[in-house]
Amino acid sequence: MTLNEREKEIELFNAFVKKELPELFEKHSNSNYFAKVTYDSMFGAWLGAKSQAVPDGYVVVPAELYNFQANHLAEEELKQNKSLFDMEHRGLSGIEMELRQAKWLVYKAERIKENYRRLVKWASESGAEG
C-alpha cells in the first residue's frame, strides 16, 4: 500500500468513525490513550477487512443453491412449459398427472442445483486461473 493509498484509507476510516462512533472519534481527537489504542486496533481490522474485500466487477455467490430457490426455478419452468407437459402426459388420470408433475419438479430442482454447483465450481476455478 502506497503512502497516498494509506492516507486515503485513514480519511475514509476517520469519516466512518466520526459518523458511526462519534464518542470514540472525539476521545481519539483529544489524545485519550485508550481511545487511541482502540482506534489503532480498529484501523488495523479495517485494513484487514478491506484487503479481503471482493474486487469491483466480481460478486460472491453461495456454493450451493438453496432448495427453495431450485424449487421455485423448477416451478417457473413447469409453468412456461405446462401445455407441453400436459400434452406429453395426456393419457394420465388427474392423480397420476399430479404425481408425475411432483416427480418431475423434484427431478428438475435437483438438476438445477447440480448445474448451479457445476457453474460455480467452473467459475471459481476459471477465476483462480486468470
Residue 130's SS3 state is: coil
73 Cβ contact partners less than 8 Å away, ≥ 6 residues apart: 109, 112
If asked whether residues 18 and 47 sit together in one domain, one would say yes
Residue 94 lies in a domain: yes
Residue 53, pLDDT score:
67
Residue 56 lies in a domain: no
Q: One digit per residue, pLDDT tens: the chain, 130 residues?
A: 688 888 888 888 888 888 888 887 787 777 777 777 777 878 888 787 777 667 777 777 788 888 999 999 999 888 888 889 889 888 999 899 899 999 999 999 999 998 988 888 877 776 554 4
Residue 95 lies in a domain: yes
If asked whether residues 14 and 40 sit together in one domain, one would say yes
Residue 130, pLDDT score:
46
Residue 60 lies in a domain: no
Residue 127, pLDDT score:
59
If asked whether residues 47 and 78 sit together in one domain, one would say no
Q: pTM of the full predicted structure?
A: 0.55
If asked whether residues 44 and 77 sit together in one domain, one would say no
- 37-63 residues labelled b (16+ CB within 10 A) or e (exposed): eebeebeeebeeeeeeeeeeeeeeeee
Range of the domain at 110: 67-129
Residue 122, pLDDT score:
77
If asked whether residues 30 and 71 sit together in one domain, one would say no
Q: Total structural domains in the chain? A: 2
Residue 123 lies in a domain: yes
